[in-house]
């Protein structure tokens, strides 16, 4: 499915395949992007200068995060927000987000800093665009994370199109064991139960 990029994304440079290179992506000295790697300083710049994480243009306070289904549970993102239209484009066009069988390649990543927090490296198969006015950064081991706040709107995607209720529930169920293990280790099982219930209220009503 071909997705028309929003204006900010349309102005981005392209890779050899013609794909837009998001603003946050590291580009080496030969101009070759590594879509797995965040350019040094981009997280701080996105927050400090209120830039869209995807296109790099001025963003404003009302913004949208592109997150996995587990972020609907803990309401934490390792990445800053984007314009809503840029976030939707990413959820519809990013190869990793739209191809559940795609795995994250780790080769060559040893020399790059890891993101803050604990990242689930699995491909969730479902992406969530979370609009919020109440998000904020907070310090975490290894850097900063983002409390994505209360959602003013949510949109779920799978395979680049609107996700079904069954797809969303399956993605949440697949990710919960890892969160459950961490919560139990911290004695926070009851809190996790409350967060899961809160997340399930945001799942689409019908398949």
Residue 110 located in a structural domain: no
Other C-beta atoms closer than 10 Å to the C-beta of 113 total 11
Taking the CA atoms of 60, 53, 71 and 140 in sequence, report the sign of the dihedral they define: negative
pLDDT at 116: 61
Asked if 23 contacts 52 with a C-beta cutoff of 8 angstroms, the reply is yes
Asked if 91 contacts 75 with a C-beta cutoff of 8 angstroms, the reply is no
The encoded tokens of residue 183 equal 């919560």
Asked if 106 contacts 122 with a C-beta cutoff of 8 angstroms, the reply is no
Residue 79 located in a structural domain: yes
Which residue range(s) make up the domain with 35? Answer: 7-102+119-200
DSSP the chain: ---PPPHHHHTS-B-TTS-B--TTEEE-TTS-EEEEEEPTTHHHHHHHTTB-TTT-SB--SSEEEEE-TTHHHH-EESS--B-HHHHHHHHHH-HHHH-TT-----TT-TTSPPPSS----S--S-EEEEEESS-EEEEETTEEEEE--SEEEEEEEETTEEPPHHHHHHHHHHHHHHHHHHHHHTT-HHHHHHHHHHHHTTS-S--
pTM of the model: 0.87
pLDDT at 114: 57
Residue 180 located in a structural domain: yes
pLDDT tens digit at each of 207 positions of the chain: 678 999 999 999 999 999 999 999 999 999 899 998 999 999 999 999 999 999 999 997 779 999 999 999 999 999 999 999 999 999 999 988 887 665 555 565 445 455 565 555 567 889 999 999 999 999 998 889 999 999 999 999 999 999 999 999 999 999 999 999 999 999 999 999 999 999 999 999 875
pLDDT at 206: 73
Residue 13 located in a structural domain: yes
pLDDT at 133: 94
Asked if 169 contacts 124 with a C-beta cutoff of 8 angstroms, the reply is no
Our count of domains for the chain comes to 1
Residue 205 located in a structural domain: no
Residue 206 located in a structural domain: no
Taking the CA atoms of 12, 102, 44 and 138 in sequence, report the sign of the dihedral they define: positive
pLDDT at 117: 55
User: pLDDT (tens digit, 9 = 90+) per residue, 8-48?
Assistant: 999 999 999 999 999 999 999 998 999 989 999 999 999 99
């Amino acid at each position: 499915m071909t997705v028309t990029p929003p204006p900010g994304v349309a102005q981005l440079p392209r890779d050899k395949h013609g794909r837009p290179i998001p603003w946050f992506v590291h580009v080496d000295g030969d101009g070759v992007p590594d879509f797995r790697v965040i350019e040094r300083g981009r997280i701080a710049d996105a927050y400090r200068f209120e830039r869209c994480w995807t296109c790099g243009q001025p963003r404003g306070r009302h913004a949208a995060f592109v997150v996995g289904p587990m972020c609907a549970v803990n309401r934490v993102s390792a990445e800053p927000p984007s314009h809503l239209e840029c976030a939707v484009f990413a959820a519809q066009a990013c190869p990793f987000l739209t191809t559940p069988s795609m795995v994250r390649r780790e080769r060559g990543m040893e020399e790059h800093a890891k993101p803050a927090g604990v990242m689930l490296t699995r491909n969730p198969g479902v992406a969530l665009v979370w609009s919020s006015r109440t998000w904020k950064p907070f310090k975490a081991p290894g850097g900063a994370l983002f409390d994505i706040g209360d959602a003013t709107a949510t949109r779920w995607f799978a395979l680049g199109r609107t996700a079904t209720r069954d797809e969303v529930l399956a993605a949440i169920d697949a990710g919960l064991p890892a969160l459950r293990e961490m919560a139990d280790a911290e004695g926070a099982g009851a809190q996790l139960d409350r967060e899961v219930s809160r997340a399930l209220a945001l799942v689409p009503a019908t398949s």
